[in-house]
Structure 1
Amino acid sequence: MSLSTTTGRTSGSAADSRRHDLAAFLRSRRERISPEQVGLPATGRRRTPGLRREEVAQLAAVGVTWYTWLEQGRDIQVSAQVLDAVARSLMLDPSERAHLFALAQADDPSPVLDCPTVNPAFRAMLDQMGPLPAAVLNSRYDVLAHNRAYGHLVGDLEALPFEDRNLMWLAFTESRFHDVLVDVETEREGMVARFRSAMADHGAEPVWKTLVARLGQVSPDFAASWERHEVERPGSGIKRFQVPGVGLLSCDYTSLWLGPRPGARMVVYTPRCQETRARLELLAER
Structure 2
Amino acid sequence: MSEVVRLYRYKSLLSARRAVSAEELMASLEVSRATLKRDIAKLRDQLHVPITFNRDLGGYQMEAGHTDSELPGLWFSQEEILALVTIQQLLEQLQPGLLGAKLRPLKDRLTQLMDKNGLASQDMARRIRIVHAGKRKVAARSFEAVAAATMARKRLRIWHFNRQNGITTEREVSPQRLVHYRDNFYLDAWCHLRDDVRSFSIDAISRLEVLDTAAKEVSAKSIDQAVGTGYGIFNGAPQAWAKLKFTPERARWVAGETWHPMQESSFEADGSYLLSFPYSDDRELVGDIMRFGADVQVLAPPALRTKVQRGFLAAAAKYV
TM-score with structure 1 setting the length: 0.25
More contact order relative to length (CA 8 Å, sep ≥ 6)? 1
Q: Quick check: which has more Rg, 1 or 2? A: 2
